[in-house]
Structure 1
Amino acid sequence: MTVSTIGSLKRNPSSKRAIVGSIMTGISALCLICTVIPLFAVLYFVIIQGFSRLNTNLFTQLPPPPGLSEGGIANALIGTLVVVGLATIIAVPIGVLAAVYLSEFSGNNKLALGIRFATNVLSGVPSIIAGVFAFGLLVSTRIVGFSSVAGGVALAVLMLPTIIRTTDEALKIVPQEVRWAALGVGAYNYQAVIKIVLPAALPGIVTGVTLGIARAAGETAPLIFTALFSNFWPNVSFQGLLEPIATLSVLVYNFAILPFKPQQELAWAGSLILVFLVLATSVIARFATRKQVY
């Protein structure tokens, strides 16, 4: 390569291509900033408004009557864990098994294509529709009424698309040679899936579950239609699962529209806790994806 050839490979900052590239780079950087600013603005505002209300009473006491100070949101914290836990128990087995069928046993037949299409549609359905569905199925029919079970079903409907799609993609990433190797040593198809493919895809499955939990934990509209609200301690017995229950998102909604400052402060504190819950689940999802088996 001659000196003249090397010189011709140097970037000319005044060329049209270089100018256009610089402009597009600047636009991309500006778009990135515009994307990040709202996130940090929300975090900053919620922390400023809610951090001052964080204390022991917040996590150990019931909400106070309107206009009175002190009190906490302990019942809503427990209720959120109960409802989201029920939704996870319902959604994870159904979602994972559906994804296993789609990836491993369907052969991309018409049923599988229909299920994938329905999953994509369901992922875009507004959350209030899931609440109306659970209300019509369980509440208005008096099967369970307003309860944590009805709330769990509504949130499970919202979690299913995320779990199915991420698990399906995680199973597709596992190399086909791994399945052939298991079948080559005499394993049945279901044995290869259970003992080889699923463990290999576990990080992706965990990611889908945590992302589904993150979405469900912050939903309000479905719980207004199903779990309603309660100012008392949740009853974690079987009978208690059939009663209305307090959740963080509904508490934030109810207290934010009240004209009393103590309740508004509790709403900000509940918002801060919800943000931290979503951030924690997102961090867990990112950590899970770091572990690569294949």
Structure 2
Amino acid sequence: MSHAVQDAPVRTSPRGSLSRRGLPRWAPAGFAAAAIVLGVGTGLAAGLHSRVQWGLISALLFVVISYVVTSAVENRRQARDRLATSAVWVCFLLAVVPLLSLIWTTVSRGAKVVDGYFLTHSMAGVVGFEPGGGVYHALLGTLEQVGLATAIAAPIGLLTAVYLVEYGRGALARAVTFFVDVMTGIPSIVAGLFILSIMLIAGIGPSGLMGALALTILMVPVVVRSTEEMLKLVPNELREAALALGVPKWRVILKVVLPTAIGGITTGVMLAIARVAGETAPILLLVFGSQMINANPFDGPQSSLPFYIWDQYKVGSDASYDRAWGAALVLIAFVMILNLVARGIARWKAPKTSR
């Protein structure tokens, strides 16, 4: 009899020994649906007519319902886990919803004017409050200014990061790290004022190059920090194996370290470009803007997409508002295309691994 009792199988729930009962997989979706219904009902009963308020009430109810039901059906440990998971989802949605709303508004309002004519014509001869005109001169200015800034900032940032990771020791490395940290928090207007003071001292006129120099100051610390972190992720065993074969250190960096980290480095450069592509303050100070097409970034005022958006919004007419939204859509598309290109380059240049 005792052997029969000992040999009898112990019945456990599918969720393990910590829980005798478990919620189905669709439980979070059910909690969300119930929270939305209760949130909308609570908002209407309280006289709240804003969908944002309904959403916040629903989010709070979702967290509460998840914790209470899980605690009652399962146990407190699972309830705490469900509470943390629900809070993470709520925070994610609170961050994503405004972004999606912004993108939807920009696309819906900007798509009305973005066409071939808008992309291939400037504002030359077009009165600001009248329909017509395009964004070609501003798009050209942004491409040239960001391109010049990238051509200057990327090599400087890359070499600085290589020095800090591979060679940096002592007081000089600490000083470089300190100044990079300081530059990371510099407002864009300060960078513009710095270049403007040099222009006034040297008697230099406004040009796209001056704006590119201010953007370079903003890009360098981002490139340095991102590249530094990517280089630190390269295993030291790769360096040691190459050095053990008698390869010089500079060649190890060039042929082993940089190719291994090229994906992250490219992504960091693209993040820096996205950081400065929408800057307006330095352009207002140093480039001055222009309604004409100026393909020479080294001479004369030049426009850019952020300046064009500000200038059209300042006019205050329906036509200018439409052009501003169209330019904003072009700017978003420009940054997205750069990121797609960066991912393609990173995948193409990434070291091949054998299976």
Structure 2 residue identity aligned to 1:273: V
Q: Does 1:186 align with 2:246?
A: yes
- 1:285 is displaced (CA, Å) by 4.2
Q: Does 1:154 align with 2:214?
A: yes
Match of 1:204 among 264, 268, 290: 264
- 1:156 is displaced (CA, Å) by 0.6
Match of 2:142 among 62, 80, 95: 80
- 1:22 is displaced (CA, Å) by 2.0
> For residue 123 of structure 1, what is the aligned residue in structure 2?
184
Structure 2 residue identity aligned to 1:132: L
- 1:292 is displaced (CA, Å) by 4.8
- 1:218 is displaced (CA, Å) by 0.9
Cα pair 1:211 1:281 within 8 Å, conserved: no
Match of 2:92 among 32, 40, 55: 32
Q: What is the rounded CA distance, in whole Å, between the counterparts of 2:81 and 2:158 in structure 1?
A: 44
Query: Relative to 1, partners in 2 of residues 1:259 and 1:282: Cα closer, same or farther, differing over 3 Å?
Result: same
Match of 1:11 among 19, 29, 35: 19
Q: Does 1:110 align with 2:168?
A: no
**Cα RMSD over matched residues?**
2.2
How big is each residue's C-alpha offset from its partner over 1:169-193, in whole Å with a ceiling of 9 and x where there is no partner?
1111122122222222222211221
Q: Give 3-state SS (helix, strand or coil) of 2:201's partner.
A: coil
Q: What is the rounded CA distance, in whole Å, between the counterparts of 1:250 and 1:3 in structure 2?
A: 75
Q: What is the rounded CA distance, in whole Å, between the counterparts of 2:271 and 2:249 in structure 1?
A: 29
Q: For structure 1, which segment, 157-166 or 16-25, has the greater mean C-alpha deviation from structure 2 after superposition?
A: 16-25
Q: Does 1:52 align with 2:112?
A: yes
What fraction of aligned residue pairs are identical, expressed as a percent?
A: 33
Q: What is the rounded CA distance, in whole Å, between the counterparts of 1:25 and 1:224 in structure 2?
A: 45
Q: Give 3-state SS (helix, strand or coil) of 1:279's partner.
A: helix
> For residue 334 of structure 2, what is the aligned residue in structure 1?
277
TM-score of the aligned structures, taking structure 1 as reference length? 0.90
Cα pair 2:309 2:327 within 8 Å, conserved: yes
Q: Unmatched 5+ residue regions in structure 1?
A: none
How big is each residue's C-alpha offset from its partner over 1:94-153, in whole Å with a ceiling of 9 and x where there is no partner?
11110110011113x23223322322232222222211122122x222453211111000
- 1:30 is displaced (CA, Å) by 1.0
> For residue 68 of structure 1, what is the aligned residue in structure 2?
130
Q: Unmatched 5+ residue regions in structure 2?
A: 1-6, 21-69
Q: Which has the higher contact order (CA 8 A, sep 6+)?
A: 1
> For residue 314 of structure 2, what is the aligned residue in structure 1?
257
Q: For structure 1, which segment, 255-264 or 244-253, has the greater mean C-alpha deviation from structure 2 after superposition?
A: 255-264
- 1:5 is displaced (CA, Å) by 8.5
TM-score of the aligned structures, taking structure 2 as reference length? 0.76
Q: For structure 1, which segment, 6-15 or 40-49, has the greater mean C-alpha deviation from structure 2 after superposition?
A: 6-15
Query: Relative to 1, partners in 2 of residues 1:60 and 1:289: Cα closer, same or farther, differing over 3 Å?
Result: closer
Q: For structure 1, which segment, 260-269 or 275-284, has the greater mean C-alpha deviation from structure 2 after superposition?
A: 275-284
Q: Give 3-state SS (helix, strand or coil) of 1:115's partner.
A: helix
Query: Relative to 1, partners in 2 of residues 1:184 and 1:265: Cα closer, same or farther, differing over 3 Å?
Result: same
> For residue 173 of structure 1, what is the aligned residue in structure 2?
233
Cα pair 2:146 2:273 within 8 Å, conserved: yes
Cα pair 2:140 2:295 within 8 Å, conserved: no
Structure 2 residue identity aligned to 1:68: E
